[in-house]
Amino acid sequence: ISQPKKMQKKDELIEACKKGKIEEVEKLIEEGWNINVKDEVFWTPLVASSFFKQITIVKKLLSQQGIEVNSTHTGGQTCFFQ
């Protein structure tokens, strides 16, 4: 069963954030994909990039208008967890 295209893109954005793929993240943002999208465990691109210490991507996301910094994942933590 294939996922809908929007689901694939959501996963693609979060995966790119986890892996530090700044060019891909910038491309997806430029294409208008939701920077506050959540995956199945409620991770956002900002939470994912923060957790994996992808500082360049964290800075890029924080510079975006409308970024939600207080969004929590299933563990109840935000992107500012330790």
What tokens appear for 27 in the block?
């491309």
pLDDT at residue 34 tops 90: yes
Q: Give DSSP secondary structure letters for 12-61.
A: HHHHHHHHT-HHHHHHHHHTT--TT---TT---HHHHHHHTT-HHHHHHH
Phi, then psi, of 17 in degrees rounded to 5: -65, -45
- Measured distance CA(1)–CA(82) in Å, rounded: 37
Q: pLDDT tens digits, residue range 51-79?
A: 999 999 999 999 999 999 888 777 777 67
**For the whole prediction, is pTM greater than 0.75?**
yes
- Measured distance CA(82)–CA(70) in Å, rounded: 14
